[in-house]
């Protein structure tokens, strides 16, 4: 049968163009229509609204589709969503995405195009969880030969981190971490967090254990006596009076820190908000529930007898495991009451503030507290030290503004070698803890306690460095080739004489024999300030020799012969002076119309020779020295009256 077609191609053939070919209706309002377009596609619509189109090897659903029957929907190819805004796959019950058959081991891939991310969300917000069953892995680098991943061990209740198939870290339920290798840090010291009330502490300061209920000796304002709870383990800037309580140095950049995690900060916030006692009661209840001693319902039951709970608490505190945890937690809670925390280096290398109070510091010297609070010095007396210097510190460093050196932390008691020897009365008093048996064999010592003198009865040989204070030597002192003869008051080089004065006196000026052995004299030269570190000052300034060779003599210089390339006379050249100066050289002028001038100087003597030289044209006139007044003046004359001003220089030379 055909409608709109003369020769139908099927039992029922309808051709009406783009119009509705077929309609099924409940009534005129509620109906569904079927229509074919020029492509041969069949469109089904409901009450004028398209629902689905069939044709061309594809089916397009315009309206939402619901599959309400029980059973699977099977697809042989891809499921693609074309909405460019956003698309959701949701369910009203638990959803499973499985890849592959149960007999196979196929992977499930979740990815995004380009640089997009994969998020785990809950109820359309980014707050969902990604949950894995025990035994399943969270793999991070599945694209190489050795996977890196996280696993959970339900038996031991820890999380393990694996790198390329090797287990490296275990994070346990109690917060402890086990490592299967070395921990490497860019910094060098191990520091622990200590509570303090000392607001003056800074990096590099030496610190000591502070009295938790007293203001410190330095006048620091941290009196803890008003606190309801005593704060344990308080530290403050170290002082010399409390040297024995040294604990370390304030760290600058620790590699590992103890007791200062974010967990501690959160706990301290709770302590400051609720108080120590309340927090400890809650913590004890948590422990009791964890060990099965107390049920959560007991805490929630307001009608429970308080006496029963108090009895249980008392019994709980007798359990060693809980007691130890409670004591540690209470100490942490009490330390939260301190106004601030400070990281104290306990091991490793750390910068430390130092001074030259006890002298220059060399690498290896023990470092202790000095008279300046918090500042280290070289230890010279027995007592506690914080470590050993790894760098030197001299006056040059101090002048350059350097305040710290690197030290190796070693908080321990240090015995001064000087004090140890001073405590020995006889050789028999030595023991294995003081000197070795080899040293005993070479020592014969006595200590005179009346004069506080250590007497060496035999030869005393020191192979290391020696530091002496006031030293008295009754014989000669020899250092290398230099010999100090205390009997002759002589300092010289050990060796034969390189000069024979008696032989020199017997030779005439024409002799070619040299009384001096120049080679021997050069090899036995005694140097003073060879390094040009400063002047050589003899007799408190009577003779000063500068590094540049300048020699200043405060008194008279008497010599057989003086040879010099140049000769200068010290003095201020000036015209005639009225102040009776002591210059031995100067200048003067005979004014026009005069034939003489008086030069006043206390340098003139009766036997002085005065040399006068004209500095302007004298017009053929002669200058000569007239009268000389001892210690006052002399007169320069012209043989005739000057017609113009005639200048001249003068120079006084004494004749002994």
User: 225-275 pLDDT, tens per residue?
Assistant: 444 456 767 888 999 999 999 999 999 988 888 876 666 667 777 777 777
Q: Which two tokens stand for residue 512?
A: 């070619």
Strand partners, 625: 636
CA-CA distance, 177 to 263, in Å (whole number)? 15
Residues 354-378, mean pLDDT to the nearest whole number: 95
What gap in Å lies between CA 393 and CA 603, rounded to an integer? 54
Mean pLDDT confidence for 377-398: 94
157 pLDDT exceeds 70?
yes
Q: Higher confidence at residue 428 or residue 207?
A: 207
- In the structure encoding, which two tokens stand for residue 104, read together? 């196979």
* Max Cα distance, the chain (Å): 170
What percent of the chain shows pLDDT beyond 90? 25
**How far is residue 593 from each of residues 33, 320, 623, 645, measured CA to CA in Å?**
150, 123, 15, 8
Q: Which pLDDT band, with edges at 50, 70 and 90, does 433 fall under?
A: very low
**Of residues 595, 605, 607, 656, the one with CA closest to residue 633:** 605
Q: Report whether 421 contacts 458 (CB < 8 A).
A: no
User: What SS3 class is residue 561?
Assistant: coil
Spell out where 262-403 has E strands: 340-353, 366-369, 376-378, 383-389
Of 607 and 448, the structure prediction assigns the larger pLDDT to 607
The whole-number pLDDT of residue 207 equals 93
Give 496 or 23, the one with higher predicted confidence. 496
DSSP 470: S
| Residue 399 pLDDT > 90 | yes
Tens digit of each residue's pLDDT (9 = 90 or more) over 161-181: 888 888 889 988 877 788 887
Name which of 273, 280, 306, 312 is nearest 293 in CA terms: 312
Assigned token pair, 329 = 């937690």
Taking only the tens place, the pLDDT of each residue in 339-357 is 678 889 989 999 999 999 9
Give residue 434's pLDDT: 54
**How confident is the prediction for the chain on average, in pLDDT?**
79
Mean pLDDT on 396-400: 94
How much is the pLDDT for 218? 34
Look up the pTM and report it: 0.44
For residues 404-433, average pLDDT: 71
Higher pLDDT, 324 or 375: 375
Q: How far apart are CA 150 and CA 167, in angstroms?
A: 9
Give the residue with greater pLDDT, 455 vs 303: 455
List the one residue out of 187, 200, 210, 191 whose CA is nearest residue 248: 191
| Whether 630 contacts 605, CB under 8 Å | yes
| pLDDT above 80 for 613 | yes
Which tens digits make up the pLDDT trace of 89-103? 888 788 888 888 778
Q: Which residue has the higher pLDDT, 408 or 83?
A: 408
Q: How far is CA 292 from the centre of its chain?
A: 49
Contact predicate 457/444, CB 8 Å = yes
CB environment 413-434: b (16+ within 10 A), e (fewer): ebeeeeeeeeebeeeeebeeee
Strands 585-590 and 596-600: unpaired
At residue 576, the pLDDT reads: 44
Q: What is the DSSP letter of 354?
A: B
Greater confidence (545 vs 515) lies with 545
pLDDT at residue 636, rounded to an integer:
94
**How is residue 157 annotated by DSSP?**
T
Q: Comparing 465 with 218, which gets the higher pLDDT?
A: 465
C-alpha separations of 196 from 212, 334, 353 in Å: 9, 12, 19
Residue 108, judged by CB atoms within 10 A of its CB (0-12, 13-18, 19+), counts as exposed
Count of residues making up the chain? 656
Position of tokens 């008093």? 429
Give me the pLDDT at residue 142, please. Answer: 66
Please state which of the ranges 234-248, 321-335, 401-415, 513-527 shows the lowest mean pLDDT.
321-335
| Alpha carbon 517 to chain centroid, angstroms | 59
CA distance 32 to 408: 92
Confidence at residue 407, expressed as pLDDT on a 0 to 100 scale: 95
Whether 534 has a pLDDT exceeding 90, the answer reads: yes
The mean-pLDDT minimum among 70-74, 297-301, 341-345 falls in: 297-301
Q: pLDDT confidence of 62, banded at 50, 70, 90?
A: confident
Average pLDDT in the 497-515 region?
66
Q: How far is CA 7 from the centre of its chain?
A: 101
Q: What is the mean pLDDT of residues 39-56?
A: 86
Q: Is residue 508 over pLDDT 70?
A: no
Class of residue 205 by CB neighbours under 10 A (exposed 0-12, middle 13-18, buried 19+): buried
Highest mean pLDDT among 53-57, 115-119, 322-326: 53-57
pLDDT at 59: 84
Higher pLDDT, 458 or 90: 90
pLDDT at 444: 55
Scanning 44-176, the segments in alpha helix (DSSP H) are none
The arithmetic mean of pLDDT across residues 525-530, rounded, is 90
Least confident of 453-462, 528-537, 538-547, 594-603: 453-462
Instruction: Identify which has the larger pLDDT, 361 or 108.
Output: 361
What number is the average pLDDT over the span 386-405? 95
Distance CA 650, CA 588 (A): 8
Percentage, residues of the chain above pLDDT 70:
75
When pLDDT is cut at 50, 70 and 90, the band that residue 21 belongs to is confident
What is the four-CA torsion angle of 130, 131, 137, 143, rounded to 10 degrees?
A: -20
Q: How much is the pLDDT for 423?
A: 61
Q: Domains in the chain, start-ordered, CATH in brackets?
A: 2-61 (no CATH), 262-335 (no CATH), 585-653 (2.40.30)
Q: Is 554 or 504 the better-scoring residue by pLDDT? A: 554
pLDDT higher than threshold 50 for residue 625: yes
Does residue 377 have a pLDDT over 90? yes
> Is residue 280 scored above 90 in pLDDT?
no
Quick one: pLDDT at residue 577? 45
């Amino acid at each position: 049968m055909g409608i709109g077609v003369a020769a139908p191609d099927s039992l029922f053939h309808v051709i009406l163009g783009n119009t509705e070919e077929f309609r099924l209706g409940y009534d005129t309002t509620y109906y569904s229509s079927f229509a074919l377009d020029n492509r041969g596609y069949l469109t089904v619509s409901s009450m004028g609204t398209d629902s689905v189109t069939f044709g061309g090897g594809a089916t397009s659903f315009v309206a939402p589709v619901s599959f309400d029957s029980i059973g699977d929907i099977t697809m042989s190819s891809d499921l693609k969503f074309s909405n460019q805004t956003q698309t959701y796959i949701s369910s009203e019950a638990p959803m499973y995405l499985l890849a592959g058959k149960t007999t196979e081991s196929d992977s499930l891939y979740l990815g995004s195009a380009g640089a997009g991310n994969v998020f785990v969300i809950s109820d359309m917000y980014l707050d969902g969880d990604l949950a894995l069953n025990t035994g399943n892995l969270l793999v991070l680098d599945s694209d190489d030969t050795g996977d890196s991943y996280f696993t959970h061990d339900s038996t031991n209740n820890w999380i393990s981190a694996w790198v390329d198939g090797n287990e490296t870290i275990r994070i346990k339920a109690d917060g402890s971490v086990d490592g299967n290798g070395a921990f490497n840090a860019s910094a060098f010291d191990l520091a622990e967090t200590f509570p303090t009330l000392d607001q003056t502490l800074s990096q590099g300061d030496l610190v000591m254990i502070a009295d938790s209920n007293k203001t410190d000796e330095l006048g620091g304002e941290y009196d803890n006596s008003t606190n309801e709870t005593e704060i344990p383990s308080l530290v403050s800037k170290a002082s010399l009076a409390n040297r024995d309580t040294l604990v370390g140095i304030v760290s600058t950049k620790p590699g590992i820190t103890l007791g200062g995690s974010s967990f501690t900060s959160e706990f301290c916030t709770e302590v400051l908000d609720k108080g120590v006692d309340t927090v400890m009661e809650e913590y004890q209840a948590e422990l009791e529930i964890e060990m099965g001693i107390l049920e959560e319902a007991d805490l929630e039951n307001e009608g429970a007898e308080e006496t029963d709970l108090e009895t249980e608490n008392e019994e709980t505190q007798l359990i060693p495991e809980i007691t130890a945890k409670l004591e540690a937690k209470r100490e942490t809670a009490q330390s939260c009451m301190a106004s601030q925390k400070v990281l104290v280096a306990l091991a490793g290398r750390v910068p430390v503030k130092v001074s030259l109070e006890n002298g220059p510091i060399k690498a290896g010297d023990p470092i202790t507290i000095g008279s300046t609070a918090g500042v280290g010095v070289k230890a010279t007396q027995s007592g506690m030290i914080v470590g050993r210097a790894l760098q030197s510190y001299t006056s040059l460093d101090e002048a350059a503004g350097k305040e710290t050196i690197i030290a190796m932390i070693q908080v321990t008691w240090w015995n001064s070698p000087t004090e140890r020897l001073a405590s020995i009365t006889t050789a028999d008093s030595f023991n294995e803890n003081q000197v070795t048996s080899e040293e005993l064999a070479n020592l014969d010592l006595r200590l005179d306690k009346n004069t506080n003198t250590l007497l060496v009865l035999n030869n005393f040989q020191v192979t290391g460095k020696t530091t002496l204070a006031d030293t008295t030597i009754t014989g000669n002192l020899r250092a290398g080739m230099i010999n100090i003869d205390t009997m002759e008051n002589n300092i010289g080089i050990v060796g034969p004489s390189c000069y024979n004065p008696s032989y020199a006196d017997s030779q005439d000026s024409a002799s070619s024999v040299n009384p001096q052995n120049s080679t021997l004299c050069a090899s036995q030269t005694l140097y003073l300030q060879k390094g040009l570190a400063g002047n050589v000052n003899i007799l408190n300034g009577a003779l000063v020799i500068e590094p540049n060779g300048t020699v200043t003599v405060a008194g008279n210089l008497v010599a057989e012969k003086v040879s010099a390339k140049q000769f200068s006379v010290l003095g201020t050249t000036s015209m005639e002076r009225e102040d009776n100066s002591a210059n031995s050289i100067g200048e003067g002028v005979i004014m026009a119309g005069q034939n003489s001038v008086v030069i006043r100087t206390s340098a003139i003597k009766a036997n002085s020779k005065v040399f006068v030289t004209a500095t302007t044209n004298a017009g053929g006139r002669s200058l000569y020295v007239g009268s000389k007044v001892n210690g006052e003046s002399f007169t320069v004359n012209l043989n005739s009256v000057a017609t113009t001003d005639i200048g001249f220089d003068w120079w006084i030379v004494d004749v002994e």
